[in-house]
Amino acid sequence: MKKRFLGNSGIEVSEIGLGCMSLPTEKKEAGIIVDAAIAHGINYFDTADLYNKGINEEVVGQSLKRHRKDIVLATKVGNQWNTHSDEVKWNPTKAYIKEQIHASLKRLQTDYIDLYQLHGGMITDDSEETIEAFEELKEEGLIRAYGISSIRPNVIKRFLEKSNISSIMMQYSLLDRRPEELLDSIGQAGKSVVTRGSLAKGLLTGEGLQRAEKMGSYMGYAAEELKTTLQKLSAVHDNLHALALQSVLQHDTVSSVVAGASSADQLKTTIQAYKTPVSTEQITEAETLTRQDLYQDHRE
């Protein structure tokens, strides 16, 4: 498994990261998947305090504690949930971030977080206060680096200009190419992108057409257009999963593709796809078959 630097942080992350949201809540089952990921060379693990109201962090912490020195642990903050209901409030305040990190550290069974990410963001936020919180956490040794998880161009631009973020997590795939307009400017600023949704809810895997039948439309693709596009992409490369991963990883700005796995077999399929050769010509052809939409909202 190859590694790439996470922006200017000095941290190296595996080109495939494990998105932990879909891990089983049973810790033994989750541990099997985590151990398999490490055996395949994955060192980057991404969770969030919001997932299952902190339970996911507990599962990740238990599964990774004996590997802690060998892995890069990322989590997120900013969504304040109600323990007794499904209500979630957005809270990017300094006080909340500096309070919540201690709860995350306890659940994750560690004394530091490698990458602490703001789990969203709006242009109306007091970003100076948020940035100040992250900078203080770095000074205190509780985090090594910080980033944001956002697809909003105006929020991304603000943090590129005002903060020392190392990374931006963005949804990016052959079926959602909106981030491409931002990749060069992010890379030129010395920052990285870590991706989510690069398999487009399983559409860009061997089960793609079956999933498309059930799903109907996806992003800007109407139901029939989606199925036709997937058929054309499958004709470009006989492993659509591999084509999806390498199409995203071809960009130097991308440090890691964060892919979920709810079983060891599912993880193994992703690793096999990652190891499958894909040519530059095949990626170029795939791009001619897919839409290159732009973000329409949150630009100013």
Q: Which of 44, 51, 172, 218 is catalytic?
A: 51
How many other CB atoms are found less than 10 A from the CB of residue 123?
14
Is 51 part of the annotated catalytic residue set? yes
109 within 8 A of 148, measured Cβ to Cβ: no
Give me the DSSP letters along the chain. --EEE-TTS--EEESEEEEGGGS-SSHHHHHHHHHHHHHTT--EEE--TTGGGGHHHHHHHHHHGGGGGGSEEEEEE-EEE-TTSS-EEE---HHHHHHHHHHHHHHHT-S-EEEEEE----TTS-HHHHHHHHHHHHHTTSEEEEEEE---HHHHHHHHHH----EEEEE-BTTB-TTHHHHHHHHHTT-EEEEE-TTGGGTTSTTHHHHHHHH--BTTB-HHHHHHHHHHHHHH-S-HHHHHHHHHHTSTTEEEEEEE-SSHHHHHHHHHHHHS---HHHHHHHHHTS------SS--
Positions annotated as catalytic residues are 51
